[in-house]
Structure 1
Amino acid sequence: MTTRRIVLLALMILVGASRSMAQSDKPLEVLIATWRGCEEACQGATDYLQSLEPEIVIRYLDAGRERARVPEILNEARRAKVDLIVSWGTSVTLEMAGTLATLDDPAFNHDIPQVFMIVADPVGAGIVADLDATGRKNITGTYNRVPEKVNVDTLRRLLPEIDALGLLYNKNEKNSVVKRDELAELLPSMSVTLVDLEIELGPDGSPLPEDIGPAVRRLKNAGADAVYVGSSSFLRSNAAVLGAAARAAGLPLISPYEEMVRDGNALISVAARYYDIGQLAGQQAEAILVGGAEPGDLPVARMQNFALTVNLGFAKEVGVWPPIDLLEFADIVN
């Protein structure tokens, strides 16, 4: 047995604050609540937790991109008396934990330790009060987004004369609206105009993939020099449609999702890798389950490492060639 494993097991024996005596004989149990299945971040969290304790029980419940399913996931966590919840994404986290304004509402989780990940703006969404002090006794998480100024500055390396940035947003996604508002506040200070367009909703109240192409053309006609994905599970799920529309319109597309660039559906991304975000969430879980920390005493953990990825095939199609000094430290996809 390694020294690290001996230390961890000793801590689990000595620290009783995080688990009651009645639970001490059962394996640790964690529920990972996902929005679109167990992807890279979920796998990163899983691998980290299993490296801590091979006997840990990890349950996966998926909302299937339907917010209405999340309350039942929380009910299942309560029935199973899990030791910790890991929630993926803004929608799942909001439906499960509520906001600072709903701390007295028993429909939300105020007792089970919870670690969120892949939340674009936990402060703007009202999930936590601050990244350093969450204001929620049972909740902490991770923060993985690159500052939007960095994204715009990176885009300027490609388009030095950019005047207007196009953005599609989905009002059904809180994170998408928050990101739109953030850009509306930031871009004037950078002498860039925001050309934003709300994606129309279909008869069932959800946006339709077939509306993406016409919406991109409207951004182009409104003067957008490039398009930014912002934060949207809908656009990410329909990356191929969005990428094709941007190429057809001759618009560079910058995305916070690295896989869009690797799949040829965007030109450039500056992003944390999702597996690494899951590992960071696992570290937060370790501090709670093994270290005995109260979730609310832990600051939201920030990602420190980001990758720049450029797709040269996309660049060729839209007629924008990245400068050599940018390519020198970028991951290149052809």
Structure 2
Amino acid sequence: MKLRKVLALAAAAVMAVAALASCGVKEDSSNDSKAGGSSEKHYKIGIVQIMEHTSLNTIRDAVIDRLAELGYVDGKNCTIDAQQANNESTTVQQILDQFKADGDDIIIAITTPCAQLAAPYSEEIPVVFSAVTDPIGAGLCDSLESTGANITGTSDKLAITKILDFALEMKPEIKTLGYLYNTGEDNSVSTLKEVKAYCEEKGITVIEGAASNTSEVQEAAQNLAAKCDAVFSPNDNTIAGAMGTVTEVMNKAKVPMFVGADSMVMDGGLGTVGIEYSDLGKETANMAAQILSGEKKASEIPIKVFNEDLSTYINKTTADTIGITIPDDIANGEKTVYFN
């Protein structure tokens, strides 16, 4: 009888320890959930960008790094499938189809072309876009405050007046301005209207130079360099992907090349006024995390336009090469950033 009683007490003790261990597991799971989604959930995140170039790679890397900071770590509690489409719309479509087939929980579309192609998928999968210059003009929403659909994102709308004011301060004698772009990119077309309006007020003639793909960029750049006092290119993916070629042409002709993105300055453009592109990626990731955690729906998150706290970016090597002297107020500015 005593032996049976001892065994019964031992069994009860084992059951009590097991119950306490079970409670401990539940508590840890709750903590994981606060850090970035329940440990029981494995998220699938699809990222698509139109092509490889510095601006887009900066955004993509910032998205992935920020997601990790928020608890969504690739290979741990999520799978991040980041792909680029070699500037081919059909390839973007194939990538998006694969994201859908894989059952992705969210799609992050970098650039206007990718966002436009991803928009129809938002009926089933939340879409967060990044680096869309004109979300309303691109047909992605009717309002920046509330998209009314399962889509939101960040905008890199250019501060055209500030960029061109900067260009005139760097080279006051500009009378002809070349506009180098791809007519197939809606963001570049919408920006052209603003550039023409500004130049009309200043008495500057705008000469367009179109390139439908990277193989046409060199010829278009050479034509503009021969006719213009300066050249401007917006956040155009085709031009950004060929900045090495453009820089070589402009530097040889001693023509200043003003651009839309800090990364395009990094790649050889003379300068711009704008945002740091890693900030776009960070905010895009913040939005994605809110959606994945269930904190908010995409339709409840306003589109973020980055048009404040701007910096001036200058490529010092390019300035020296083409013989541009940087005015003191720009050179000594608190928000002036140099690339070499």
- TM-score range (shorter-chain normalised) is 0.7 to 0.9
Q: Whole-Å Cα distance in 2 between the matches of residues 75 and 163 of structure 1?
A: 48
Partner of 1:290: 293
Matched, 1:242 2:255: no
Query: Structure 1: how far apart are the matches of 2:285 and 2:224?
Result: 40
Structure 1 partner of 2:191: 179
User: Is 1:281 paired with 2:306?
Assistant: no
Match of 2:257 in 1: 253
- Note the 1:154-169 alignment, pairs <5 A: 154-169=166-181
The answer (yes or no) to whether the contact 2:105–2:125 under 8 Å persists in 1 is yes
Amino acid in structure 1 at the alignment position of 2:107: I
Shift of 1:64: 2.4
1:119 corresponds, among 132, 138, 157, to: 132
- Tell me: CA distance 1:213–1:69, structure 2 relative to 1, closer, same or farther (3 Å): closer
**Matched residue of 2:123: which SS?**
coil
Q: Aligned Cα RMSD in Å?
A: 2.5
Residues 166-315 of structure 1 correspond to what in structure 2 (within 5 A)?
166-199=178-211, 206-209=212-215, 211-222=216-227, 224-263=228-267, 265-303=268-306, 304-315=308-319
Distance of 2:171 and 2:34 partners within structure 1: 54
Query: Shift of residue 291 of structure 1?
Result: 4.8
The answer to which of 247-256 and 35-44 deviates more is 35-44
Deviation at 1:27, TM superposition (A): 1.7
**1:95-134 equivalences in 2 (<5 Å):** 95-97=117-119, 108-134=121-147
Match of 1:36 among 51, 67, 88: 51
User: Rg: which structure is higher?
Assistant: 2
CA contact (8 A) 1:114 1:139 kept: yes
**What per-residue deviation string (whole Å, max 9, x for no partner) do you get for residues 121-159 of structure 1?**
222222222322324x10000012331111111112112
- Displacement after TM superposition at 1:46 (Å): 0.8
Q: In the alignment, residue 117 of structure 1 is paired with which amino acid?
A: S
2:164 maps to a residue whose letter is V
Residue 94 of structure 2 corresponds to 72
Deviation at 1:288, TM superposition (A): 1.6
State the Cα distance separating 1:298 from its structure 2 match.
1.3
C-alpha separation between the residues in 2 aligned to 1:276 and 1:68? 29
Distance 1:144 1:231, change over 3 A: closer
Q: Deviations over 1:69-103 (max 9, x none)?
A: 122222222222222111111111112215xxxxx
Deviation at 1:257, TM superposition (A): 2.7
Q: Residues 85 and 113 of structure 1 are in contact (CA less than 8 Å); yes or no, is this contact kept in structure 2?
A: yes
Amino acid at match of 1:207: N
Deviation at 1:267, TM superposition (A): 1.0
* 1:82 maps onto 2:104 in alignment: yes
The CA distance in 2 between the partners of 1:35 and 1:214, in whole Å, is 23
The one-letter amino acid paired with 2:110 is W
Partner SS, residue 41 of structure 2 = coil
Q: Secondary structure at the residue paired with 2:234? A: coil
Structure 1 distance, partners of 2:263, 2:81, is 26
1:11–1:138 Cα change, 3 Å: same
Identify unmatched segments of 5+ residues in structure 1.
14-23, 99-107, 200-205
State the AA in 2 paired with 1:218: N
Give identity over the alignment, percent. 26
CA 1:7 to 1:143, structure 2 compared with 1: closer, same or farther past 3 Å?
farther
Match of 1:150 in 2: 162
C-alpha distance in structure 2 between counterparts of 1:148 and 1:242, whole Å: 21
| 1:149 aligned partner, one-letter code | T
1:69 to 1:321, Cα distance in 2 relative to 1, 3 A: same
Aligned to 2:8: none
Q: How far apart in 1 are the matches of 2:133 and 2:186?
A: 9
Contact 1:120 1:144 in 2 (8 A): yes
Q: CA 1:184/1:254 → structure 2, altered by over 3 Å: closer, same or farther?
A: same
Aligned pair partner of 1:49 in 23, 43, 67: 67
Tell me if structure 1 keeps the 8 A contact 2:214–2:239. Answer: no
Residues 29 and 57 in structure 1, CA contact (< 8 A), matched pair in contact too: yes
Distance 2:214 2:101 in 1: 36
**Residue 138 (1) aligns with residue 169 (2):** no
Q: Which residue of 1 aligns with 2:41?
A: 26
Give 3-state SS (helix, strand or coil) of 1:177's partner.
Answer: helix
SS state of the match for residue 308, structure 1? strand
Note closer, same or farther for the CA distance 1:282–1:71 as it changes in structure 2 (3 Å cut).
same
Give, in angstroms, the shift of residue 249 of structure 1: 2.0
Change in 2 beyond 3 A, CA 1:318/1:83: same
| TM, length-normalised to structure 2 | 0.80
Corresponding residue number in structure 1 for 2:326: 322
